[in-house]
Amino acid sequence: MSSRLLLKGGRIVSPGSMCGQVVDVAVADGKVLSIGSVPAGFTPDTEIDAAGHWISAGFIDLSHTLRQPGLEHKATISSEVLAAARGGFTTLCTPPSTSPVNDSAAVTNLIYDQALEAAQVKVLPIGAMTKGLQGEQLSEMFALRQAGCIAVTNMRRPFRNNQVLKRCLEYACSQDIRAFVCPQDAALAKEGCAHDGAMASKLGLVGIPAIAEVLSVAQWLILAEETEAQVHFSQISCARSVSMISEAKSRGLKVTADVAIANLMHTDAVIAGYNPMYHVEPPLRSEADRKALLEGVNEGVIDAICSNHEPHESAAKQAPFAETAAGMSQAELLWSQMVGLIQTGQLRQDAAIRALTVGPAAVLNIESGSLESGAVADLVVLDPDTRWTVSEDSLLSRGKNTPWIGKSVQGRALYTILDGTIVYSAEGSF
């Protein structure tokens, strides 16, 4: 049940008329009651001292793997939504890579029920575009949409042929449901595990060439124009992808894009020691690609930054690099990485906050992501200054698969507020 909250003396960093101002924020009945002057007679149940800290709309994650149902040996919904709340997220989209695959209303309902029971964040399932993600038969997109799926995707799984792909987009368009596309040509990607560059060659690893993504982006853009479907490019990693999406947007195509935080932070240089924690999809690419992605966020071509949170059990990373499972545990570490990019001048503060709030909200067409009077009180109080050391014990996620273990990082979420209720406090008192 929501309570009456007063956030005192914090700096507003969300886009809007109050951005940059140090003010009080009053919350009542699950809504933002006021920003600035507190209404006469308002008596809060709880006061939060936000002095010296930032206040933002809650973060929205467009790619956050929860594993349940079926992969509970890796993580559970209850563990990962708690980790998400600790990371400042109030809304997350979870892909259909469950067991069974989320290609039916029954699986969607199960995910919803588990998430509602955990009551930490709002979970928006993404349904499978084809049955079993096999790329052959279209899924029941209408039933998935009715059950609450926010979008559909085939992840990086190939389609049997272009006819199936085109039919998927046509059907998605007819149901007014957005297609999330992880662009990668399966034949060109082969069994690759790293960026196809000098580092992969030096290490003897099979590479995934940039053209595998670029060719896929080009194909989807042509089909998006042909079908007038809403296409969102998820986790782009190449400079040419940014320029192609920018050009498509300038022509009025209904396309959007996001980038994973790992691809903004790292290049393929970090895999020199065969550290399996850097084995991710899409692969970490060149410095030129990384800079183009950062520029894409700063210029607004890239609409959102996602965590691409993929928790794994420890055994999944205990093998030679190419044989390990791809993915990083990122839910609790995204904000600290963003702080680093902001402080080094690589990412503008306003662009960073936009890419975690109003940007992804616009992609999903949901009424979240803003911090204005009358808005839903999904909020986060951020500490951009405190340093802390990442350890396995300090992470709430079951996935400890991160290269940040043992390292000092800066920035954390102090409070996460969902519909006016404190669901996470760094002090652990709620």
Let me know whether 171 and 216 are in one domain.
Answer: yes
- Specify whether the backbone of 190 is left (phi greater than 0), alpha (psi in -120 to 50) or beta: left
* Residue 228: other Cβ atoms inside 10 A: 11
| DSSP single-letter state for residue 212 | H
Let me know whether 346 and 391 are in one domain.
Answer: no
Number of H helices, E strands in the chain: 13, 18
Let me know whether 52 and 64 are in one domain.
Answer: no
CA–CA separation, 418 vs 91, rounded Å?
9
Can you tell me which residue has the tokens 């080094």? 344
268 SS3 class: helix
Domain edge (last residue) among 319, 345, 364? 364
101, 127 in Cβ contact below 8 A? no
Domain edge (last residue) among 341, 364, 387? 364
Contacts of 187-191 with C-beta under 8 Å, sequence gap 24+, read 187/158, 188/212, 188/215, 189/156, 191/322
Distances, alpha carbon 342 to alpha carbons 128, 261, 347, 353, in Å: 35, 13, 5, 10
Q: What pLDDT is stored for residue 2 in this prediction?
A: 65
Range of the domain at 42: 5-56+375-425
| DSSP single-letter state for residue 425 | E
- Is 430 among the domain residues? no
Can you tell me which residue has the tokens 């997109």? 141
Let me know whether 359 and 250 are in one domain.
Answer: yes
56, 40 in Cβ contact below 8 A? no
- What is the full per-residue pLDDT of the chain (430 aa) written as tens digits? 568 999 999 999 999 878 989 999 999 999 999 999 899 999 999 999 999 999 999 999 999 999 999 999 999 999 999 999 999 999 999 999 999 999 999 999 999 999 999 889 999 999 999 999 999 999 999 999 999 999 999 999 999 999 999 999 999 999 999 999 999 999 999 999 999 999 999 999 999 999 999 999 999 999 999 999 999 999 999 999 999 999 999 999 999 999 999 999 999 999 999 999 999 999 999 999 999 999 999 999 999 999 999 999 999 999 999 999 999 999 999 999 999 999 999 999 999 999 999 999 999 999 999 999 999 999 999 999 999 999 999 999 999 999 999 999 999 999 999 999 999 999 873 3
Structural domains of the chain, count: 2
Let me know whether 323 and 245 are in one domain.
Answer: yes
**Which alpha helices (H) appear in 234-310, and where do they start and end?**
239-250, 261-265, 287-299
Let me know whether 84 and 117 are in one domain.
Answer: yes
Let me know whether 99 and 156 are in one domain.
Answer: yes
CATH assignment at residue 202: 3.20.20.140
CA–CA separation, 167 vs 124, rounded Å?
24
Let me know whether 17 and 90 are in one domain.
Answer: no
CA–CA separation, 36 vs 9, rounded Å?
9
Domain edge (last residue) among 311, 339, 364? 364
Let me know whether 17 and 86 are in one domain.
Answer: no
* Residues, the chain: 430
Q: What pLDDT is stored for residue 18 in this prediction?
A: 84
Let me know whether 15 and 88 are in one domain.
Answer: no
CA–CA separation, 291 vs 264, rounded Å?
8
127 SS3 class: strand
pTM score, whole prediction: 0.97
Closest CA to 156 of 104, 213, 72: 213
Let me know whether 288 and 260 are in one domain.
Answer: yes
Q: What pLDDT is stored for residue 1 in this prediction?
A: 54
CATH assignment at residue 28: 2.30.40.10
Let me know whether 216 and 76 are in one domain.
Answer: yes
266 SS3 class: coil
Tokens standing for residue 337: 């990485």
360, 60 in Cβ contact below 8 A? yes
Closest CA to 64 of 43, 32, 89, 99: 89
Q: What pLDDT is stored for residue 119 in this prediction?
A: 86
